[in-house]
Amino acid sequence: MPNHDNSPIFPDSYVGDNSSEYDNSIWMERNQKKSTLVCLQYLYDEKLNALGKDDILNEKNYLIVDLGCGTGFSSEIIVENGHRVIGIEILKDMISKAKFKKDFLKRGRELELILADINHLPIRLASIDHMISVSAYNFITYGKKLPGDISKTTNNTASYLKEILKPNGRVVIEFYPKDEKELNSFISSFKDNGFDGFMVKKDFNQKSGQTFLLLKKQRKL
């Protein structure tokens, strides 16, 4: 998640004392929760309904995977809005704080937290209704330098996410691509691996900065 002055360094900005600073930041909590609410609204977006084969989400109690849940700000909002949540986080220092918050949530039983890599989720195929990711998805390519390795990671991850979604599954990703090249890499990975969707930005011509991807699993004919 970008801060006021510069972009974070993964994983350094999220471990040790930095994880505590992140979790205690009122600014961070406010922005994470605000972005999560936007993601939930986009999940029901009319334009997304009309993509591919029309379908409209009617239920208010879905099983949603929170990809890169961090210290739990996003998972907390999703649970408060009536959904069951599986929060996925790769960093122990972050998820330990999410687990602490879980005990104080009014609907804490509706939240399961798993220490895992987004690229390798311990989740059954076709078992998840929808997915949301707030300010974390671009970290899946951490450590990858060669274009071929980056492409392989983004494509493999998109393909696997499709497999664990139910037939009407949707994905809303809020993230911060560093430039147009990285943005196009993520967009193409979903389009090439069984998703319909589109991008939402405040300034459509701006290729970096806050970006939302609204995606829907393609139905088999």
pLDDT block averages, 10 residues each, the chain of length 221: 59 93 96 97 93 79 97 96 96 96 89 93 94 95 92 96 95 93 94 95 76 91 54
Per-residue pLDDT, 56? 81
Contact between residue 218 and residue 195 where contact means Cβ atoms under 8 Å apart: yes
Report which of 189, 190, 180, 167 is spatially closest to residue 211, judged by C-alpha positions: 180
- Distance between CA 121 and CA 157 in Å, rounded? 10
pLDDT at res. 53: 72
Cα–Cα distance, 71 to 69 (Å, whole number)? 6
Phi, psi at 106, each rounded to 5°: -60, -35
Amino acid in the structure at residue 60: K
pLDDT value at residue 221: 54
For residue 137, which of 169, 176, 170, 166 has the smallest C-alpha distance?
Answer: 176
User: Is the preceding omega at residue 11 within 30 degrees of 0, hence cis?
Assistant: yes
pLDDT value, residue 6: 59
- 186, 137 contact by CB (below 8 A): yes
* pLDDT for the residue 169: 95
- Confidence (pLDDT) at 178: 87
CA distance 77 to 186: 25
At 116 the pLDDT is 95
Decide if 113 contacts 87 (C-beta within 8 A): yes
**Quick check: 76 and 171 in contact, CB under 8 A?**
no
- CATH number given to 12-217: 3.40.50.150
